[in-house]
Amino acid sequence: MGKEQQEINLLEIWQVIVEQKRVVFITWVLCVGLGLTYVLLVTPVYKAEVFMLPPSQSDIQPLNISVLAFPDRSDRSDFLEYDSESVYRLFVQTLKSRAVRRNFYEENKVAEKLGLGSDSDPDIFFENRFHQKLKIEQNVKKKGEEGFVTLSFEGDDPVLVAGLANAFVTKVANTVTERLVSELDTRVASLRSGVEASIQGKKSLAKVRRDDQVVALQEAYRISQALSKEDQQVRLRALSGGVTVNTEEFPKFMLSPNALIAQVQVLKGRKDNDPFIEGLRDLEERLITLESVKISMENISVVSVDQKAWVAKGPVKPKKLLALLLANLSGLLLGIIVAILSTHVMKINQRKR
């Protein structure tokens, strides 16, 4: 009984469609017409994508100047050692920076290229037409694919969209590189100033130390003159005990007056103190190394562009075939519903009569 009822209902619906075919057809034509109007009038949206990967270690090697300039690992403590992961992380963060986007937007006059009207609010235009359209996708959940980053940009001009996407990636890469190089230059300059100050300090104190030595030797000379030869011989035997004497701890006044006078004359006649300054040559060598450090941006790459943005061959919006298909289906379905409702209303009116 239930099956027969279903067949009767389907038959009745078919009869209604046949009887109201004009209503169904008109409704379908209206929906298809609206679909065509939408497809023809709506502004097409094109999408450009740039695919990026982390740089290789060789791409950022010039940043690790400590390895190149100081073979001895103990001399590298004043520098950071960069790896591709940390540099790439900074690059991705900069991609998302609103300040960097705004700077690129203004430098390249993007508002004019995107058609900013005189009555449009510049801030709202930047937000809606540039910032929100510039998207970053990174699969941080899937292990092994954290480094795959995609930058996409949408607009109504496929050539302009692709150009802006590529230019923005280049801008960010240059910004990050400039920042890292600037930090290194600042660090090298600071270290160089510190070494120069240490050298200058040692040289300034060298004359003072030499004058102190002269005073000490002159005092020892006076003491030596005051001692008798017997006293000197007795003290010499008592201090040496027949073994080698540590001359650093040996009292200077125990030397002969002639030896003391000779040392004083040599010290007073010394023209260059540098050879006698402890640690000076090591500092000068470090200064020469720091002065030789030259960092070139041309040899540094903070990102590996897997594929640049291409000019899109077709729009991503609207999807014309899908829109027309939906218009056909919705027109047909709506036409059947209108036909059934109109038939039902007609039957109710007939019963009332």
Instruction: Tell me the pLDDT tens digit for each residue of 122-133.
Output: 888 899 889 999
Name the band, by pLDDT with cuts 50, 70 and 90, for residue 223: confident
| pLDDT exceeds cutoff 80 at 211 | yes
The highest-confidence range among 212-216, 222-226, 247-251, by mean pLDDT, is: 212-216
pTM value > 0.85: no
User: What is the mean predicted confidence (pLDDT) over 265-275?
Assistant: 83
What confidence score (pLDDT) does residue 78 get? 57
Give the CA distances from residue 168 to residues 45, 108, 181, 197, in Å, rounded to whole numbers and listed in that order.
Answer: 19, 10, 20, 43
| pLDDT exceeds cutoff 50 at 29 | yes
| pLDDT exceeds cutoff 50 at 54 | yes
Return the higher-pLDDT residue of 269 and 234.
269
| pLDDT exceeds cutoff 60 at 235 | no
What confidence score (pLDDT) does residue 304 get? 93
What confidence score (pLDDT) does residue 197 get? 93
Q: Hey, what are 105's tokens?
A: 């937007």
Return the higher-pLDDT residue of 255 and 211.
211
What confidence score (pLDDT) does residue 306 get? 93
Q: Quick check: helix, strand or coil at residue 58?
A: helix
* Sheet bearing 134-138, strands edge to edge: 134-138, 149-155, 46-53, 304-307
User: What is the mean predicted confidence (pLDDT) over 197-222?
Assistant: 86
**H-helix or E-strand spanning residue 39:** helix 21-41
| pLDDT exceeds cutoff 50 at 182 | yes
Instruction: Tell me the pLDDT tens digit for each residue of 134-168.
Output: 999 987 666 656 679 999 999 889 999 999 999 99
What confidence score (pLDDT) does residue 88 get? 93
What confidence score (pLDDT) does residue 228 get? 61
Q: Determine what percent of the chain is predicted with pLDDT higher than 70.
A: 80
Instruction: Tell me the pLDDT tens digit for each residue of 243-258.
Output: 444 455 556 666 667 7
What confidence score (pLDDT) does residue 179 get? 92
What confidence score (pLDDT) does residue 231 get? 61
Q: Is the peptide bond before 318 cis (omega within 30 degrees of 0)?
A: yes
Tell me the C-alpha distance between 13 and 330, whole Å: 18
Q: Determine what percent of the chain is predicted with pLDDT higher than 90.
A: 22
| pLDDT exceeds cutoff 60 at 206 | yes
Q: Quick check: helix, strand or coil at residue 155?
A: strand
Return the higher-pLDDT residue of 237 and 175.
175
Other Cβ atoms closer than 10 A to 102? 14
Q: Hey, what are 50's tokens?
A: 């740039």
**H-helix or E-strand spanning residue 178:** helix 158-226
Q: State which fold the 31-197+300-324 domain adopts.
A: Bacterial polysaccharide co-polymerase-like (3.30.1890)
* Mean pLDDT score across all residues of the chain: 80
Each domain of the chain, given as residue ranges in start order, spans 31-197+300-324, 204-291
User: What is the mean predicted confidence (pLDDT) over 175-203?
Assistant: 89
Name the band, by pLDDT with cuts 50, 70 and 90, for residue 2: very low
Return the higher-pLDDT residue of 63 and 107.
107
The highest-confidence range among 1-15, 36-50, 162-176, 295-309, by mean pLDDT, is: 162-176
Other Cβ atoms closer than 10 A to 167? 15
Instruction: Tell me the pLDDT tens digit for each residue of 315-352.
Output: 888 777 777 788 788 878 887 888 778 777 777 777 76
